[in-house]
Structure 1
Amino acid sequence: MDTDRRWGRGAAHARRPRLTGLAVSALLAFVLLVTGCSAIPTSGPVGVISASEGEPDVVAPVFDPQGPSSGATPERVLQDFIRAGTGAGGGYSVARQFLTAELAETWQPEERIVLFRGDPRVEKRETDGVYQIQLETTGTVDARGVRTNSAGPSTETLGVRMVEADGEWRIDEIPDGIMIAQSSARDLLTSHSLSFYSSNYRYWVPDARWFVRRTGVTARIVQAMLAGPAPYLQGAVTSAFPEGVTLARDSIPITSGRASVELSPEILDNATDLKLQQMNQQLEANLVGLNDVTSVEMTSGQPIQLGDRAPDLVTPERTPDVGGEQVAIADDELVRVRNGGIVAIDGLPSVAEYDPVDPATSVSGSAYSFVAADRSALFVTAPGSQVREVLSGAGLTQPSFDPENWLWTARSAGAGSEVLAVPPGGTQENAVLLAAGWLGDRAVKDLRVSRDGSRALVVTEREGAGEILLAGITRSAQGAPLGLTTPVSMPVPGPVDTARWAGQSTIVASSIGADEEAIPVVLHLDGEVEEMAALEGVEGISAGSDAEDTFYAQADGSLYRRIVTSWVNEELAVRDPAFPG
């Protein structure tokens, strides 16, 4: 993908000569190819100090970049400017020394952060004073703190204009933002998951963000929350705060554990006790535990009175519990895997005649589902009930129950796939075909709804390549699924055929192949990736509330459990195990 990068703010001035044609293209071109994701290694900083003045903050690493050297060449100035981006102190005062006085006033260092590996390459272009910086990128962080990892080898080229000022070369035009080596990223950046309400206010939905480690992190977290969720979650989650509410000041004082959050007057517009209590609840969900915060006080000129607890106020679940049992298939019947053993399901009718594969169960255990081995029919049943066919098609994926007991699956449609959701007790006649135009010619291989019901984990294949996508789920006011938002990609270091939720902020994934070695991976929503021990002949995976104690792989006709860094054979002859959901 080729995308133009704009000059930094304040870059265009009538007194400067203009560039046209190929020169402009060379200056503005930014090439960002889809690249592979890798975990960011940690490198030791020079030292650590605690933030002083204003609000308390995370312990920040000390980077001590130097200002411009006298008589430095333009190439040296640009290399030193990149290194100076590691120093956030004084509003990036050192980095601003490399800029002309006018640009130093308008340059926005955290508008965009480019993460790179290797050594930056600086080249002079044919036009006088025009240079370009070439980077091998691993990802970016935008002004909202949203991190996008590259999915393979990728490069980016930034156009720069240099001028002489008092005999020294300075940067006169450059895109806003800083460049950080991946070896320093973990020391310079800190991750934090914002919390938004699910559409029914029953769950907290995490929204992973990254922020520069410097004073004011608490305020920047609140500012990001007030600005709303990441694009893929827009329409899928809810904020208690009305649009337009902002922080009234750029700091959040913390006294004896209480964070005092001064908000703009809009917070009181048409505010009921319930809405104010939900706002306060959301602030607590985002701040308690951060920088020793134990409670939150909202103010707007004076402390905001919340009133008596509203009857409709719900305390959302942060980590929905799916328990420790799995549904599986043994001798062509649905069974439960419990405490290392196989247990029959009381009252459940026989399903052997349907040749079942890929079972699923609701969190309550009140409903079960499976597909036929040829993936042409989807069935549901329950203890004391008969088996019902509720959907037909080709290439049906393993079903997934959402918290409201809607049953989700995907099936082949033309050159790609379509996603459907069947309501509780429903059939094909009242199934919802979800709006997901972005699927295009992608074939859905796996589909799992998150335990909060706000997100869909989708594994697709296009032109032989597997991809993990994370989309938000939009719903009607009554909670019926409507569509899937434009997703974000979760890059993986190798082939992928299947993926599962392992809690709210973690995904596990693997390739599948009876005669192949698989290296399952753990993907964190903040972009970090962890590779696990290899396992031969993986046929499927399952995960409960985390990727440590409740992660299983089906291989060689048995069930393996992940324990620390190893796989332990549970010696259970079951197929297609799945945790509720």
Structure 2
Amino acid sequence: MSKVPKLAYLIAASAVVAVLTGCVGVPLSGEVATGPLIDEQIDPKYEIVAEGPVAGSTQEQILTDFMNAVRAPTRDYSVAREFLTNPMSDSWKPAASATIRERDKLPTITPALEENSLTYSFSAQAVIDERGLYTELRSPATQSLSFDFERVNGEWRIASAPPGIVLSNKGFEVSFEQQVLYYFDPSFANLIPDPRWFPVRQSSQSRAVQALLSAASPWLQQGVVLTAFPASTTLGATSSLSTGRAVVDLSSEALSADSVTRERMRQQLSATLHTPIVVLTVDGRELQSSNSGQNAAVIEPGAGGPLVVGTGSEFGFSTSDGLSEINELSTVVVESGATAAVLSADRLSVAYGAADGVHYAAVGVDPRIVDSRSGLTAPSLDPFRFVWSAQRGSAATLSTFEIDGTEHPIQSSLPADSQILSLDVSRDGARLLVYLSSPSGPQLLVYGIVRQQGNVPVQLVEPIVLPARSGSPIDAAWVGSSSVATLSSNDDSVAVTAFSLGGPTESLGSVDGARQLVSSGTNTDALRLRADGEVWRPQGSQEWVRTGLDASFMAVQQ
């Protein structure tokens, strides 16, 4: 009987340096010292170990064991390559993609039409491309891969295999880890996340820095976000990372950056590596930087305040003693008969929807109607005081307005035949979340915002398409800088779903009659929904409970 390889996890006894490239230096002082090679390092988490081919294995067993071995990325999938012929091992590209199988659906192996060939069929749930970008399919899709076999020294080996790897959900969880890259918004006030997934123990920190420097982000190329690194900058040869401190060696292109730009480079690396101290070097010599009195960019802007709600007679913060007025804006919103509102981060201005259109008001400034079109959806307000508004019946009617009512039409690919149920600008002002009802079903899209001088929004580009759940779309909201949530109805149930931008989705249960969803923080615990005039909050991962608070609407807080 053939022996099935086992997968083991070796937990390291102590945490040591994680390598950024080739050789490393352990920065115990201000010097950058040479250290051991990458393959000699011990991962501080675990190492995934798979067994190689078993003598006498059939073609089917070789393929099954190969699929188990791809869960071990150590030394560029060295164990998995043992199942391949030498020419195939030399040409195989496991980093081309990683396809994740649908949970609880086992793959099948069947003979192909050609002799000494097998077909591996499975149901795909998500794909990670060669850049580390994760895309979840809206619905699982059946895929079939062909593998050819040859005998090598009397044993079957795979002579032809497609590029990339296939993983179960569990295999993905143990063999890949998320690395978030960070780029600046055009104002350099915020750092915008770009989540990626890389195999563990394959210099994931190094791959993260290399990906950051490669400028392969579509939004970066289209001007939605910016990088401080000069063009063609690459990773040098003496970089290292230890607890709380990173030394990142860069190519000579980095020398062209002035001191302010170098500080911004340092901020990008600090956020990407989750390391407070980053030292930049070129050929081992430190690059001096200066913040020149500038504030550090914000990584995760949060509402940072209690829930804001509106009733027929009040508008303000929810407190243990009832609703607390914000300032004069509370009176303005109540007197207008508003049915929706979005409050600025400084709490000094508000955009709100009323029967006669969308209005803008600020402390010390008389309220003004900025969009008087009929049938408007709830407005959004970005950090630069532009009001976003659209007629519910057609997403193509989306436009932006200055606080004096000056309109700035925005170029986009939003379809005219789709209703726009929800629109929300992210707190960093770089992205727009829209929830559409289209002839082909619900669409959940996150667009990059291109701005011109004066931070005027002019174009929406390259949306991230999230796998919207079936059913009727109701509302959507930003949860944090890297995730959103939706309400969607199916029969009598209203489902709450969280979507990671560049990661798996998560069901958050259901609440009958839910009509609105907002977040007053940066994670799902801060979500609040309104159902039948009452506010609900999450309790655990799938349950929701009443808060005891009544509301006609909940305000979005930027």
TM-score by length of 2: 0.85
Name the CA shift for 1:61/1:497 in 2 (closer, same or farther; >3 Å): farther
Q: Secondary structure at the match of 1:237?
A: coil
Counterpart in 1 of 2:303? 322
Counterpart in 1 of 2:373? 393
Q: Secondary structure at the match of 1:196?
A: strand
Amino acid at match of 1:392: S
Q: Secondary structure at the match of 2:391?
A: strand
Q: Which aligned pairs between 1:425-436 and structure 2 lie closer than 5 A?
A: 425-427=403-405, 430-436=406-412
Q: Which aligned pairs between 1:231-270 and structure 2 lie closer than 5 A?
A: 231-232=218-219, 234=221, 235-249=223-237, 252-254=239-241, 257-268=244-255, 270=256
Aligned residues: CA RMSD: 2.8
Amino acid at match of 1:47: Y
Counterpart in 2 of 1:137? 124
- Counterpart check, 1:522 vs 2:498: yes
Deviation at 1:351, TM superposition (A): 5.6
Amino acid at match of 2:10: V
- Counterpart check, 1:47 vs 2:9: yes
* 2:95 corresponds to which of 100, 110, 120: 110
Q: Which aligned pairs between 1:232-311 and structure 2 lie closer than 5 A?
A: 232=219, 234=221, 235-249=223-237, 252-254=239-241, 257-268=244-255, 270-289=256-275, 294-307=276-289, 309-311=290-292
Q: What is the distance in 2 between the residues matched to 1:108 and 1:384?
A: 62
Counterpart in 2 of 1:509? 486
CA contact (8 A) 1:508 1:547 kept: no
Q: Secondary structure at the match of 2:163?
A: coil
* 2:358 corresponds to which of 378, 383, 404: 378
Q: Which aligned pairs between 1:338-417 and structure 2 lie closer than 5 A?
A: 338-340=318-320, 341-348=322-329, 350=332, 355-373=337-355, 377-411=357-391, 416-417=395-396
CA contact (8 A) 1:325 1:579 kept: no
Q: Secondary structure at the match of 2:265?
A: helix
- Counterpart check, 1:551 vs 2:527: yes
Q: Which aligned pairs between 1:56-67 and structure 2 lie closer than 5 A?
A: 59-67=44-52
Counterpart in 2 of 1:224? 211
Amino acid at match of 1:221: A
Q: What is the distance in 1 between the residues matched to 2:280 and 2:468?
A: 41
- Counterpart check, 1:462 vs 2:438: yes
Q: What is the distance in 2 between the residues matched to 1:508 and 1:103?
A: 44
TM-score by length of 1: 0.82
Q: Deviations over 1:75-114 (max 9, x none)?
A: 3322222111012223211111222212212222122111
Counterpart in 2 of 1:27? none
Q: Secondary structure at the match of 1:247?
A: coil
Q: What is the distance in 2 between the residues matched to 1:447 and 1:143?
A: 31
Q: Secondary structure at the match of 1:238?
A: coil
Amino acid at match of 1:242: P
Deviation at 1:262, TM superposition (A): 2.0
Which range moved further: 322-331 or 177-186? 322-331
Q: Deviations over 1:39-75 (max 9, x none)?
A: xxxxx96333338765667544444322223343333
Which range moved further: 71-80 or 535-544? 71-80
Name the CA shift for 1:482/1:350 in 2 (closer, same or farther; >3 Å): closer
Q: What is the distance in 2 between the residues matched to 1:274 and 1:535?
A: 50
- Counterpart check, 1:437 vs 2:408: no
Counterpart in 2 of 1:213? 200
Q: Deviations over 1:201-232 (max 9, x none)?
A: 10111111111111412111111111226435
Q: Deviations over 1:182-206 (max 9, x none)?
A: 1221111111221111111101111
Mind listing any 5+ residue stretches in structure 2 that lack a counterpart? 1-5, 17-35
Name the CA shift for 1:491/1:255 in 2 (closer, same or farther; >3 Å): closer
Counterpart in 2 of 1:488? 464
Q: Deviations over 1:270-318 (max 9, x none)?
A: 32111122112211121134xxxx52222221323215x2426431012
Counterpart in 2 of 1:203? 190
Name the CA shift for 1:536/1:325 in 2 (closer, same or farther; >3 Å): same
Mind listing any 5+ residue stretches in structure 1 that lack a counterpart? 1-43
Q: Secondary structure at the match of 2:182?
A: strand
CA contact (8 A) 2:529 2:535 kept: yes
Q: What is the distance in 1 between the residues matched to 2:143 and 2:219?
A: 24
Q: What is the distance in 2 between the residues matched to 1:288 and 1:353?
A: 47
Which range moved further: 359-368 or 127-136? 127-136
Deviation at 1:335, TM superposition (A): 0.9
CA contact (8 A) 1:401 1:580 kept: no
CA contact (8 A) 1:133 1:157 kept: yes
CA contact (8 A) 2:245 2:278 kept: yes
Q: Secondary structure at the match of 1:280?
A: helix
Which range moved further: 279-288 or 256-265? 256-265
CA contact (8 A) 2:219 2:225 kept: no
Q: What is the distance in 1 between the residues matched to 2:155 and 2:189?
A: 60
Deviation at 1:385, TM superposition (A): 4.1
Q: What is the distance in 1 between the residues matched to 2:296 and 2:189?
A: 7
CA contact (8 A) 2:122 2:144 kept: yes
Q: Secondary structure at the match of 2:95?
A: coil
Q: What is the distance in 2 between the residues matched to 1:459 and 1:370?
A: 19
* 1:421 corresponds to which of 389, 400, 408: 400
Q: What is the distance in 2 between the residues matched to 1:137 and 1:157?
A: 10
Q: What is the distance in 1 between the residues matched to 2:323 and 2:482?
A: 30
Name the CA shift for 1:459/1:547 in 2 (closer, same or farther; >3 Å): same
Bigger relative CO (Cα 8 Å, ≥ 6 apart) = 1
Name the CA shift for 1:178/1:252 in 2 (closer, same or farther; >3 Å): farther
Amino acid at match of 1:459: Y
Name the CA shift for 1:303/1:477 in 2 (closer, same or farther; >3 Å): farther
Name the CA shift for 1:124/1:438 in 2 (closer, same or farther; >3 Å): farther
Amino acid at match of 1:409: S
Deviation at 1:377, TM superposition (A): 2.2
Q: What is the distance in 2 between the residues matched to 1:173 and 1:475?
A: 48
Deviation at 1:390, TM superposition (A): 1.2
Deviation at 1:450, TM superposition (A): 0.7
- Counterpart check, 1:576 vs 2:553: yes
Name the CA shift for 1:459/1:229 in 2 (closer, same or farther; >3 Å): farther
Counterpart in 2 of 1:453? 429
